[in-house]
Amino acid sequence: MAPMISMRPGPTTVRNASKWRALRGKHSIPPSIRVLHSLEYSGPPARESPVPVAGQTALGHRREAIKHAKPFSDFLTDTFNRQHDYLRISITERCNLRCLYCMPEEGVPLSPPAHLLTTPEIFYLSSLFVSQGVTKIRLTGGEPTVRRDIVPLMQSIGTLRSKGLRELALTTNGISLHRKLDSMVEAGLTGINLSLDTLDPFQFQIMTRRNGFDAVMKSIDRILEMNKVGANLRLKINCVVMRGLNERDMIPFVELGREQDIEVRFIEYMPFDGNKWSQGKMISFQEMLDIIKAKYPALRRVAGHKNDTSKTYEVPGFVGKVGFISSMTNDFCGTCNRLRITSDGNLKVCLHGNAEVSLRDLLRKDNGGEPIDQEAFERIKQIEMDRRDGFLGNETVLGWGERERELLEVIGGAVKRKAEKHADIGDLENMKNRPMILIGG
């Protein structure tokens, strides 16, 4: 029987649902970041929607919306006509766990601080991608909650809702999430993927090489509490299944969804540098399905979105769902809409590809190659103000002139080089790639 997640009311329990609905569109921006928003581009004048005539159908409204819709950016469309509207940004290489499948036992050499993207740089790149059609941004790591200014960063990205951003999500191990969750929801957080590979506290220490199981469960409790009063956070628990370690946890994970709105997603073990992957340790999607069906033979497929990474199932009568991410045996490359930016500013168009291009170096080109801090942004702000006042030409989407054009060309070139699908298992096993922690979950 799966352990029931407690619903203990905490000292910061939300008192009513309306608070979260009211806060969702209002972000208090700290002075340290407020300057960034003077760079926002108001865009071309919006076309006025035609006045609906009496009896106009919903289909007519949809047709009008399609007629006036802006074409999707060519920079984010690859040669297989996949439109990349989902951006994952790693905001730190640091982590407070040492999971077996993510980080080598000896750890990884961290990048010098000057090589990592600054908060203004992350916000600028977020703005640029949203201007080209990205509607979902996910912050990853490392462990993103260990970044000290993650809440102000989320607040700044949250303001991009007015520019077309619809979702701001987080991938986390949950260790310290419960301490920052309320502020994150106020900043606009809409979804959480929480990595948890076992429901056994002792096994948790083996798989993560650290303590922290109780803290993770406290974070899950807090998410469920907040959802009961209207926070509307989409919670998915990600479990990497490894033979001989945690396959026995699959049924207890499924049973978490008996009475609680949780989607547990079982992930095939994937090869990355330093994680000692072998095909023998990997449990395939089909084998996972068979394990669950042996206990719950009525398990059935649920229709999903075309860009879903997981195949979703349900046990009749259960509130929650079960998903399978089958990157190794049954890939979903044909509908991939995801791009990744690493903590050190490289664009990866495929998780399992080792081709990368630096956006950081191009972004900093006119700043002497140095990180763009608040002071540098002040200078850029002045250039932008001069341009809008007519003193400078070379207008672009976000007002960064030639540098912005070069960035879009580099991004577009990388996207156009994206392969139709990633390499097969045998090739992936021997292919050089970053450790997972240096890519971003």
How far is the CA of 258 from the CAs of 157, 221, 323, 403, in angstroms? 35, 16, 15, 53
> Over the stretch 291-321, which tens digit does the pLDDT of each residue have?
999 999 999 999 887 777 789 999 999 999 9
The radius of gyration of the chain from alpha carbons, rounded to an integer in Å, stands at 22
Whether the link from the prior residue into 441 is cis, omega within 30° of 0, is: no
SS3 content of the chain, % helix, strand, coil (to 5): 40, 15, 50
pLDDT value of residue 286: 95
**Mean pLDDT score, 217-227:** 96
**359 in Cβ contact with 128 (< 8 Å):** no
pLDDT value of residue 28: 40
> Over the stretch 47-96, which tens digit does the pLDDT of each residue have?
333 434 444 566 666 666 555 566 899 999 999 999 999 999 999 999 88
- Tell me how many degrees the CA angle 6-11-15 measures, rounded to the nearest 5: 90
Least Cα distance to 103 among 276, 321, 244 occurs for 276
**233 in Cβ contact with 192 (< 8 Å):** yes
Residues in the chain: 441
pLDDT value of residue 34: 36
Q: What percent of the chain has pLDDT over 70?
A: 73
Least Cα distance to 119 among 23, 28, 29, 26 occurs for 29
**Residue appearing with tokens 């990592």:** 116
Cα separation, 423 vs 421, whole angstroms: 7
pLDDT value of residue 387: 63
SS3 readout for 268-307: ECCCCCCCCCCHHHECCHHHHHHHHHHHCCCCEECCCCCC
**230 in Cβ contact with 15 (< 8 Å):** no
- Banded model confidence at residue 14, pLDDT cuts 50, 70, 90: very low
The more confident residue out of 36 and 112 is: 112
pLDDT value of residue 109: 84
The more confident residue out of 423 and 69 is: 69
Average pLDDT of the residues of the chain: 81
Q: In the beta sheet, which residues pair with residue 340?
A: 88, 348
> Over the stretch 161-212, which tens digit does the pLDDT of each residue have?
999 999 999 999 999 999 999 999 999 999 999 999 999 999 999 889 889 9
**Mean pLDDT score, 133-160:** 96
How far is the CA of 191 from the CAs of 94, 168, 242, in angstroms? 22, 7, 26
- Report the predicted TM-score, pTM, of the whole model to 2 decimal places: 0.81
Cα separation, 16 vs 32, whole angstroms: 31
**In the β-sheet with 86-90, what is the strand arrangement from edge to edge?**
300-301, 311-314, 321-325, 263-268, 234-241, 191-195, 167-172, 136-140, 86-90, 338-341, 346-348, 357-358
pLDDT value of residue 49: 39
**183 in Cβ contact with 153 (< 8 Å):** no
Q: What percent of the chain has pLDDT over 90?
A: 55
pLDDT value of residue 42: 34
Of the candidate ranges 103-112, 121-130, 266-275, 365-374, the one whose mean pLDDT is the lowest: 266-275
Run of H or E including 74:
none
* Sign of the torsion angle spanned by Cα atoms 190, 195, 200, 204: negative
Which pair of tokens denotes residue 346? 């490289």
> Over the stretch 367-393, which tens digit does the pLDDT of each residue have?
889 999 988 877 776 776 676 665 555
Terminal-to-terminal C-alpha distance of the chain:
30
Cα separation, 327 vs 240, whole angstroms: 12
**Mean pLDDT score, 129-134:** 95
pLDDT value of residue 69: 63
- Banded model confidence at residue 155, pLDDT cuts 50, 70, 90: very high
Query: 3-state class of 131 per DSSP?
Result: helix
**153 in Cβ contact with 116 (< 8 Å):** no
pLDDT value of residue 161: 95
Least Cα distance to 293 among 262, 260, 322, 330 occurs for 322
| Cα maximum dimension of the chain | 72
**167 in Cβ contact with 136 (< 8 Å):** yes
Q: Helices H, strands E: what count in the chain?
A: 14, 12
pLDDT value of residue 379: 78
For residues 336, 133, 40 and 155, what is the CA-based torsion angle, rounded to 10 degrees? -40
Hey, how many other C-beta atoms are within 10 angstroms of the C-beta on 244? 9
Highest-pLDDT range among 52-61, 222-231, 375-384, 395-404: 222-231
**433 in Cβ contact with 413 (< 8 Å):** no
- Banded model confidence at residue 10, pLDDT cuts 50, 70, 90: very low
CATH no. of 84-340+418-438: 3.20.20.70
> Domain coordinates of the chain in residue numbers?
84-340+418-438
Q: Which amino acid belongs to residue 268?
A: E
